[in-house]
């Protein structure tokens, strides 16, 4: 009986792991069949960190470039090194990642954060969560709405693409002590937040996932 229960438990956790991996793959990008091979190494690039720690981001790709925008903000042109890039799909994926990361930060979901953040940003989030746990505090985050999202800057360094996204959202953050008492005198109305997140990936890499490399809050 004990062995049967253990076997069923293993199957259950395996199914959960597969579900999470499939969801992350859909959010972060997928292989189109047109990717360049990964024979060239890419240049080292630095993470750019600043501002509030409650921010971060993400993306997607398409199977064709039929709906490619005619123009793209700023030079150099991203389509020169990534012909399959789709701005609308990227921003939709970024919005999904935005919600996932903020929720994971509040829930101390380290696995999801590890998949979406680069090392430096992840360490910042990790340390903030650990400090919150040591103080026995609980953070509740409710994303009421994402009112707008736009790419405000793109930087290309050899095969490395860095896209900076501006999010304008309405968010309720509630911090409580271990007994559930509010630690802020603020009411429970939503705050208007402007977050600036920068994401990066190597266009020559077989890994199509983008990583959040920088966070900043304007207000």
Segment 169-195, tens digit of pLDDT:
999 999 999 988 888 765 678 999 999
Kindly list the structural domains of the chain, giving each domain's residue range(s) and its CATH number in brackets, ordered by start.
2-30+45-65+75-217 (3.10.450.240)
Distance CA 140, CA 106 (A): 6
Segment 11-61, tens digit of pLDDT:
555 565 555 545 544 444 443 444 433 332 222 333 344 334 333 333 333
Tokens read off for 47: 């993470």
Give me the sheet containing 191-202, strands edge to edge: 138-157, 160-176, 191-202, 211-217
pTM: 0.67
Q: For the residues of 117-178, what is the DSSP string, one character each? A: B-HHHHHHHHHHHHHHHHTT-EEEEEEEEEEEEEEEEEEEETTEEEEEEEEEEEEEEEEE-T
For residue 35, what is the DSSP state?
P
Segment 136-163, tens digit of pLDDT:
999 999 999 999 999 999 999 999 999 9
Please give the mean pLDDT across all residues of the chain.
76
């Amino acid at each position: 009986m004990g062995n049967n229960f253990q076997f069923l438990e293993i199957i259950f956790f395996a199914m959960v792991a597969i579900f999470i991996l499939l969801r992350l793959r859909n959010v972060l990008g997928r292989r189109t069949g047109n990717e360049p091979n990964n024979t060239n190494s890419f240049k080292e690039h630095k993470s750019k960190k600043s501002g509030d720690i409650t921010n971060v981001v993400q993306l997607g790709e398409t199977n064709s470039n039929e709906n490619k925008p005619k123009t793209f903000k700023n030079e150099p042109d991203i389509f020169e090194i990534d012909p399959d890039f789709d701005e609308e799909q990227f921003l939709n994926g970024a919005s999904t990642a935005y919600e996932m990361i903020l929720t994971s930060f509040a829930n101390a979901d380290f696995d999801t954060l590890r998949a979406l953040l680069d090392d430096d940003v992840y360490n910042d989030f990790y340390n903030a969560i650990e400090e919150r746990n040591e103080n026995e505090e609980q953070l509740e985050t409710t994303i009421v709405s994402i009112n707008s999202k736009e790419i405000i800057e793109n930087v290309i360094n050899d095969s490395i693409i860095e896209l900076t996204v501006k999010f304008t959202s309405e968010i309720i953050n509630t911090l409580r002590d271990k007994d559930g008492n509010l630690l802020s005198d603020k009411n429970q109305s939503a705050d208007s937040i402007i977050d600036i997140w920068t994401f990066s990936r190597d266009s020559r890499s077989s890994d199509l996932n983008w990583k959040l490399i920088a966070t900043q809050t304007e207000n």
